[in-house]
Structure 1
Amino acid sequence: MTDELVLVTGGTGFIAQHCMLALLRSGYRVRTTVRSLSREQEVRQNLRAGGAEPGDRLSFVKTDLGSDAGWAEAVAGCVYVLHGASPTPSGDQVREEDWVRPAIDGNLRVLRAARDAGVKRVVLTSAFGAVGVGHRKPLHRPFNETDWSDLTGRVAPYQKSKTLSEQAAWDFVAREGGALELSAVNPVAVLGPALGPDYSHSIRMIKNMMDGQPACPKINTGLVDVRDVADLHVLAMTDPAARGERFLAISGESIWMADIARILRERMGKAAGKVSTRVIPNWLVALSALRDPVMKAILPILGVNMNATSVKAQTLLGWRPRSREDAIVATAESLVTLGLI
């Protein structure tokens, strides 16, 4: 056991909850932020599903990334901060500024509070969206941590917000951070065990396949298990070598959606009876995109190889992720166990 206190922002989030589980297993005390204290029992129930009964080693503070209120209280006494909370526009906002400005301001708000409270290091949960999108020419190598998304290309508002908010975080620490240290983790599509019915966008991809999605668009994606993402956060938090570094979190090489479907068919038996391995031709996706905004959104990534490498995290920090196959199966098994399929 350690008396060191770690703040995990956005306690209702999928990655955040697995980070809390990893920290609790490692003996830390954990404080987390929520926008409404009414969700404390839901968070505790999800942690229980993940095998933890933290009792008073877990505490909650009400905060919102859009306001200064509560942040001084949230970071008080913390040695580290894992900042994964991300403001998500509610309703039907389509303007970029509904995504970008809140993301930048939220990061700066947390970093400023952490610096003022004497926090040693913040680990920022960024995204592959800050690394591998918008590039006009295909790379003939895997994406790595030196790459940044090209915002002059076709970049969705969420990915733009991740790119600009991560850059703003690095700029803040360089200019005004004082003794505060920063590391960043940039996961690809995050799979792994869902802890409850409120799960990530990436897990929805597996659920849609299990529910009988008729075919797979020709989309390529990197995969990583959420438990390994959480472990990487803890390594980036404590290892001196992680100071000032960003780390891509990917297991092995990227994979096509049809291959994910094949793995589900092979490994999940009857539960994957509705999974289709058919591939939708690109021309049909393009035709559908004329009337379907979901199809329109995937047009820029059709047929694009999204491979990336986690060699840096493995060599510098000793990170050892599970296989992508195991991540896929763990996701599907959790959905079955929770009765969501």
Structure 2
Amino acid sequence: MSTADPTVSPARQGAVLVTGGTGFVGSHSVVRLVSEGYRTRVTVREPGQRADVVAALRQAEVDPAGRLEFAVADLATDHGWQDAMEGVSHVLHHASPFPTTPPETEDEIVLPARDGALRVISAARTAGVPRVVMTSSYAAVGYTLKPDDHYSEADWTDPDTEGLPAYHKSKVLAERAAWDYVRAHGDIELTVINPTGIFGPQLGERPSASVGLVRRMLAGQMPVVPIMYFGVVDVRDVVDLHLRAMVHPKAAGERFLAVGGPSVSLFGMAQILREHFPSAAGLLPSAELTAEQVREAAKTTPALRDAAALQGRIPVISNEKARSVLGWEPRDIRETIVATAYSQLRQGLDLPDGR
């Protein structure tokens, strides 16, 4: 169902500018926008990335029909952003650095995330764009642990939390900088979406980090998993929430957590996959490390620092605000996890019985 204002045809509005259009959320945003009739302009760092966006649309069987445009602009420089904003009525800012390996210094990821967000919002403000919808993360909300383990949009991760990974710190500081900028100027609106772990169908050839977890489980590459509970949300529902926030009057100046339901553990995720893909049972994780084992292993294995930071606790993450204010209705997390797995089979992953 379209989330656009029914009184204004998307074709008659200005373009929607999408940053990070080659990423997991961004590619799904482009597919959704184009399919709903929006003129969609995607920023790319270099012209060669246009092919990735077109390929995602082709995979989703969506014909751009003249509604797809591109602008070359890099978050690291001012060049190109004013041209990118010309004739734009909405901005979806998805782009943010995500390291595949821990950076040598925090600034390698913190500075691009913060400065990139400010560059996009400033360019939008100069061009007269009324609102920017920015993708932040649950990492900016719930990584300073609370005694009751209940988290809502009122919560913030303290960037000085001991052991906080650099990526999480970058999300906190980028989002805080964005809010500070908007408060200081007052003539542009900001809405922030804070998704938990994003899963769902893969578009393109490269799986996201979260989708890669499911692929690795099904491929037998994760015989043991750390104890770690986290929220899950479908990428299609994350996009839906962004589009609702883009046009809803009550979304201005608000944060919205995106989570599909109760938190699940990696081992619990493996159990869901085992139920739906019994032929892969022998490949899926068969054991779970304790919180103490995770803490010890994280001292020498950076990939486990996220799990160590959560200490095996089970966060209760509220999506009530998105439901009540924007009418958002996310998919059940089991459906999302299974859809993630099926997308990996379509991408060429083989299970023992060929399913």
Please state if 1:99 is matched with 2:109: yes
Q: CA deviation at 1:198?
A: 1.4
Q: Secondary structure at the match of 1:2?
A: helix
Instruction: Choose which of 77, 84, 96 in structure 1 pairs with 2:87.
Output: 77
Name the structure 1 match of 2:96: 86
Task: Provide the rounded CA distance (Å) in 1 between the counterparts of 2:299 and 2:198.
Answer: 29
Structure 2 unaligned runs (5+)? 1-9, 351-355
Trace 1:149-188 onto structure 2 (pairs within 5 A). 149-154=157-162, 155-178=164-187, 180-188=188-196
**Deviating more after overlay: 251-260 vs 289-298:** 289-298
Q: CA deviation at 1:142?
A: 2.5
Instruction: Choose which of 10, 33, 45 in structure 1 pairs with 2:20.
Output: 10
- Give the TM-score of the pair, scaled to structure 2: 0.90
Q: CA distance change for structure 1 residues 308 and 333 in 2, over 3 Å: closer, same or farther?
A: same
Name the structure 1 match of 2:156: 148
Please state if 1:313 is matched with 2:322: yes
Q: CA deviation at 1:254?
A: 0.7
Q: Does the Cα contact within 8 Å between 2:21 and 2:29 map onto a contact in 1?
A: no
**Deviating more after overlay: 266-275 vs 163-172:** 266-275
Please state if 1:68 is matched with 2:81: no
- Give the TM-score of the pair, scaled to structure 1: 0.94
Q: Does the Cα contact within 8 Å between 1:47 and 1:53 map onto a contact in 2?
A: yes
Q: One-letter code of the match for 1:101?
A: L
Trace 1:264-283 onto structure 2 (pairs within 5 A). 264-271=273-280, 273-283=282-292
**Deviating more after overlay: 107-116 vs 169-178:** 169-178
**Deviating more after overlay: 98-107 vs 160-169:** 98-107
1:284-308 deviation digits (Å, cap 9, x = unpaired) = 3344334333234532223122331
Please state if 1:253 is matched with 2:262: yes
Q: CA distance change for structure 1 residues 63 and 234 in 2, over 3 Å: closer, same or farther?
A: same
Trace 1:1-341 onto structure 2 (pairs within 5 A). 2-4=11-13, 5-88=15-98, 93-135=103-145, 138-154=146-162, 155-178=164-187, 180-212=188-220, 213-271=222-280, 273-341=282-350
1:229-278 deviation digits (Å, cap 9, x = unpaired) = 00000000000010111100001111111111110010123255511242
Q: CA distance change for structure 1 residues 241 and 207 in 2, over 3 Å: closer, same or farther?
A: same
Percent sequence identity is: 42
Q: CA distance change for structure 1 residues 333 and 272 in 2, over 3 Å: closer, same or farther?
A: farther
**Deviating more after overlay: 102-111 vs 302-311:** 302-311
Task: Provide the rounded CA distance (Å) in 1 between the counterparts of 2:305 and 2:152.
Answer: 27
Q: CA distance change for structure 1 residues 296 and 184 in 2, over 3 Å: closer, same or farther?
A: closer
Task: Provide the rounded CA distance (Å) in 2 between the counterparts of 1:272 and 1:11.
Answer: 35
Q: One-letter code of the match for 1:93?
A: P
Q: CA distance change for structure 1 residues 90 and 257 in 2, over 3 Å: closer, same or farther?
A: closer
Name the structure 1 match of 2:353: none
Q: CA deviation at 1:102?
A: 1.6
Q: Does the Cα contact within 8 Å between 1:134 and 1:152 map onto a contact in 2?
A: no
Q: One-letter code of the match for 2:273?
A: L
Q: CA distance change for structure 1 residues 238 and 249 in 2, over 3 Å: closer, same or farther?
A: same
Q: CA deviation at 1:177?
A: 4.1
Paired residues in the alignment total 338
CA RMSD of aligned residues (A): 1.8
Q: CA deviation at 1:88?
A: 4.5
Q: Does the Cα contact within 8 Å between 2:134 and 2:193 map onto a contact in 1?
A: yes
Task: Provide the rounded CA distance (Å) in 1 between the counterparts of 2:11 and 2:105.
Answer: 45
Task: Provide the rounded CA distance (Å) in 2 between the counterparts of 1:63 and 1:133.
Answer: 32
Task: Provide the rounded CA distance (Å) in 1 between the counterparts of 2:306 and 2:37.
Answer: 43
1:150-209 deviation digits (Å, cap 9, x = unpaired) = 22313111111100110111111111241x111010000000000122121111111121
Task: Provide the rounded CA distance (Å) in 2 between the counterparts of 1:283 and 1:183.
Answer: 38
Q: CA deviation at 1:282?
A: 3.2
Q: CA distance change for structure 1 residues 273 and 21 in 2, over 3 Å: closer, same or farther?
A: farther
Q: CA distance change for structure 1 residues 40 and 340 in 2, over 3 Å: closer, same or farther?
A: farther
Q: Secondary structure at the match of 2:12?
A: coil
Task: Provide the rounded CA distance (Å) in 1 between the counterparts of 2:305 and 2:228.
Answer: 13
Q: Does the Cα contact within 8 Å between 1:173 and 1:181 map onto a contact in 2?
A: yes
